[in-house]
DNA sequence: AATCCATTTAGGGTATCATCGAAATATGAA
DNA sequence: TTCATATTTCGATGATACCCTAAATGGATT
């Protein structure tokens, strides 16, 4: 493995606006068929097909055939992290409509990053868990404390299931809007799933924004002291 | 600030091979004049001038006029971090010569990332400092322990000078080869400077590789238990 | 003022690649 | 088998932007 990485190859894949739109809308970890991605990226089917082939070839996306549909998703959490990281130095995109402006505010407050929560909400939850000694940060990973194990059990997350996956348990992930770390990995996903299950948050399709429900607001205040 | 980042704009700047070469050779934090960058990127002066203008416009580089020379450097540590992060998912570049292969091995072992040490050496130093309780990792930053203050003083780093800068003290930075965190920020730079001063490491120009000297090998073994 | 050197501007050639319509393939449904 | 739907391949077109040479600018030196 005595080689160094070809950064411009990856950058070129992300540089094309239609491909960037595709990657962006898959950042929440969902899988979408080619036709839908063509609609989202505002290009024809042949064009999107060519873009998707390049993204798969470059290992940014993976695809699954389901019947006559072919579903595309991000190849890994790492890809999502790279896109978020580039966002930390990217200039703001031109805002053309009120809808875009509202959406951007929502994105900053809460969004999915691959399969876990990012934005202000993601960071606040992470901080709350750290402050209460439920998790701690070591070299590369968040660990659950003894006290934390009880807490997660009460919260409805069975930590033993993590052993059945090869996935990283819980590591810090940086996002562009807060420039702070939040929990990703198996635990990050488990927390997000639990939030959805309890009806504290819900999400729109074709959009990374996550909405906090009234029930969610109360729960955050009562259980996490997050206002 | 209700806006989201235009990722493809930044990606496009990095995507062009000549620009990628320019960015890469400035990753060690040095400033180089346009003429030298033209030579490194293997393009004519007018071409490099156009590339540099785009990079400055996109806030990836900043320039300083010195006489009739104009020196270019990375705009910030954050830019270097983004480039490193992209490297974590980029495919290996085609290796054409033995020299490239040797260089790539050296890069993996030790290199500068903006102004601090990265690669295996950077990670090992960070691990050693953590293991000995000289530093600890909190939410977003490394902190020096009480015991650590004495250690750094003996090592020749005056931590009080950090207060005079607006720079972040010490935060984790990820590199592509190890996929592990190492120390960046003010402390990361101070450590690297001290290593150079003591003749433990030295560097080549036009290249991010850092060489460990015989003296350095001994020092690492004796002072850090790093073999 | 005259000259030298580093860099930038101007202009034109060229290659790459995103784009789309039309046709082909592939899968599922009737 | 036939039809409908999803996606890809093919071929042609056009725009973008990278590249260079030649000329211009601007600072330093004599």
Give the nearest nucleotide to B50, CA to C1': C8
ipTM summary value: 0.84
In the predicted structure, residue A1 carries a pLDDT above the cut 50: no
Give me the A residues in range 162-221 that sit within 7 A (CB) of strand C: none
Give the nearest nucleotide to A67, CA to C1': C27
Claim to verify: residue A124 and residue A209 sit in the same structural domain: yes
Would residue B93 count as lying in a domain?
no
Claim to verify: residue B68 and residue B106 sit in the same structural domain: no
> What confidence score (pLDDT) does residue B93 get?
81
pTM higher than the cut 0.95: no
Would residue B110 count as lying in a domain?
yes
Would residue A92 count as lying in a domain?
no
Query: Which residue gives the smallest C-alpha to C1' distance to D5?
Result: A68
Contact B16 A8 (CB under 8 A): yes
Claim to verify: residue A71 and residue A128 sit in the same structural domain: no
Would residue B152 count as lying in a domain?
yes
Average pLDDT of span B120-128:
95
Claim to verify: residue B39 and residue B107 sit in the same structural domain: no
Enumerate the nucleotides of strand C whose atoms come under 7 Å of any protein CB.
5-11, 17-23, 26-29
Would residue B194 count as lying in a domain?
yes
Nearest-Cα distance to chain A for B53, in Å, is 16
Cβ-contact B161, B84 below 8 angstroms:
no
Q: Chain B: residue nearest A106 by CA?
A: B2
Place of tokens 């934005």: A119
- pLDDT, tens digit (0-9, with 9 covering 90-100), for A30-39: 899 999 999 9
**Minimal Cβ distance to B17: which of A8, A90, A130:** A8
Average pLDDT of span B65-82:
94
Strand B210-212 with A142-144, pairing: unpaired
Question: Which residue, of A40, A75, A110, is where some domain finishes?
Answer: A75
The answer to whether B44 CB is within 7 Å of strand D is yes
Claim to verify: residue A104 and residue A203 sit in the same structural domain: yes
3-state secondary structure of A94: coil
The answer to whether B16 CB is within 7 Å of strand D is yes
- pLDDT, tens digit (0-9, with 9 covering 90-100), for B130-186: 999 999 998 888 999 999 999 999 999 999 999 888 888 999 988 888 888 999 999
Lowest mean pLDDT among A100-109, A111-120, A121-130, B75-84: A100-109
Would residue B164 count as lying in a domain?
yes
Average pLDDT of span B117-132:
94
- pLDDT, tens digit (0-9, with 9 covering 90-100), for A40-55: 999 999 999 999 999 9
Q: Which residue has the higher pLDDT, B113 or B207?
A: B113
Claim to verify: residue B56 and residue B142 sit in the same structural domain: no
The answer to whether A8 CB is within 7 Å of strand C is no
| Average pLDDT score over chain A | 91
In the predicted structure, residue B83 carries a pLDDT above the cut 80: yes
Contact B10 A86 (CB under 8 A): yes
Strand A111-113 with A69-74, pairing: unpaired
Report CA(B82)–C1'(C20) in Å, whole number. Answer: 35
Q: What burial letters (b/e) apply to A173-208, b meaning 16+ CB within 10 Å? A: bbbbbbebbbbbbbbbbbbbeebbeeebbebeeebb
Q: Which residues, listed in sequence order, are joined to residue A209 by a DSSP beta bridge?
A: A111
Cβ within 8 Å of residue B62, ≥6 positions away = B56, B72, B73, B74, B75
In the predicted structure, residue B204 carries a pLDDT above the cut 80: no
> What confidence score (pLDDT) does residue A206 get?
66
Would residue B87 count as lying in a domain?
no
> What confidence score (pLDDT) does residue B205 get?
64
Report CA(B31)–C1'(D30) in Å, whole number. Answer: 30
Q: Mutation test of the interface with chain B: which of A1, A6, A7, choosing the one with the most B Cβ atoms within 10 A? A: A7
Contact B6 A127 (CB under 8 A): no
Would residue B91 count as lying in a domain?
no
Task: Give the Cα-Cα-Cα angle A145, A108, A118 (nearest 5 degrees).
Answer: 25
> What confidence score (pLDDT) does residue B206 get?
66
In the predicted structure, residue A2 carries a pLDDT above the cut 60: no
Claim to verify: residue A185 and residue A113 sit in the same structural domain: yes
Report CA(A28)–C1'(C19) in Å, whole number. Answer: 28
Claim to verify: residue B121 and residue B169 sit in the same structural domain: yes
Claim to verify: residue B107 and residue B71 sit in the same structural domain: no
Number of domains in chain B: 2
In the predicted structure, residue B1 carries a pLDDT above the cut 60: no
> What confidence score (pLDDT) does residue B32 get?
93
Share of chain B above pLDDT 70, in %: 98
In the predicted structure, residue B4 carries a pLDDT above the cut 90: no
In the predicted structure, residue A96 carries a pLDDT above the cut 80: no
H or E stretch covering A111: strand A111-113
In the predicted structure, residue B2 carries a pLDDT above the cut 60: no
Cα(B78)–Cα(B54) distance, rounded to whole angstroms?
18
The answer to whether B12 CB is within 7 Å of strand C is no
In the predicted structure, residue A132 carries a pLDDT above the cut 80: yes
Claim to verify: residue B16 and residue B71 sit in the same structural domain: yes
Nearest-Cα distance to chain B for A67, in Å, is 30
The answer to whether A111 CB is within 7 Å of strand C is no
| Residue A96 burial (CB count, 10 A) | 8
Report CA(B71)–C1'(D25) in Å, whole number. Answer: 18
Nearest-Cα distance to chain B for A216, in Å, is 23
The answer to whether B69 CB is within 7 Å of strand D is no
In the predicted structure, residue A94 carries a pLDDT above the cut 80: no
Average pLDDT of span B21-39:
93
Give the CATH number for residue A55: 1.10.10.10
Claim to verify: residue A48 and residue A103 sit in the same structural domain: no
Average pLDDT of span A113-140:
92
Report CA(B49)–C1'(C11) in Å, whole number. Answer: 16
- pLDDT, tens digit (0-9, with 9 covering 90-100), for A148-178: 999 999 999 999 999 888 888 999 988 888 8
In the predicted structure, residue B57 carries a pLDDT above the cut 60: yes
The answer to whether A43 CB is within 7 Å of strand C is yes
> What confidence score (pLDDT) does residue A106 get?
86
- pLDDT, tens digit (0-9, with 9 covering 90-100), for A141-151: 899 999 999 99
DSSP state of B209: B
Share of chain A above pLDDT 90, in %: 70
Claim to verify: residue A49 and residue A106 sit in the same structural domain: no
What's the domain range around A40?
Answer: 7-75
Average pLDDT of span A119-134:
94
């Amino acid at each position: 493995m005595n080689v160094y990485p070809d950064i411009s190859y990856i950058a070129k894949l992300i540089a094309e606006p239609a491909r960037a739109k595709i990657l962006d809308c898959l950042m929440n970890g969902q899988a979408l068929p080619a036709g839908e991605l063509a609609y989202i990226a505002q290009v024809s089917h042949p064009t999107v097909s060519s873009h998707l082939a390049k993204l798969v070839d470059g290992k940014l996306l993976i695809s699954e055939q389901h019947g006559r549909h072919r579903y595309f998703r991000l190849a890994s959490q790492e890809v999502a992290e790279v896109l978020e990281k580039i966002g930390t130095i990217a200039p703001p995109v031109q805002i053309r409509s009120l809808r875009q402006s509202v959406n951007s505010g929502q994105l900053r407050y809460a969004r999915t990053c691959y399969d876990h929560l990012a934005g202000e909400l993601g960071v606040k939850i992470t901080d709350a868990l750290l402050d209460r000694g439920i998790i701690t940060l070591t070299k590369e990973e968040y660990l659950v404390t003894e006290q934390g194990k009880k807490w997660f059990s009460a919260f409805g997350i069975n930590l033993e299931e993590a052993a059945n996956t090869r996935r990283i348990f819980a590591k810090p992930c940086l996002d562009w809007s807060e420039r702070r770390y939040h929990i990703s990995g198996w635990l990050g996903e488990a927390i997000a799933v639990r939030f959805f299950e309890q009806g504290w948050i819900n999400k729109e399709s074709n959009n990374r924004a996550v909405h906090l429900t009234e029930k969610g607001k109360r729960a955050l205040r009562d259980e996490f002291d997050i206002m």
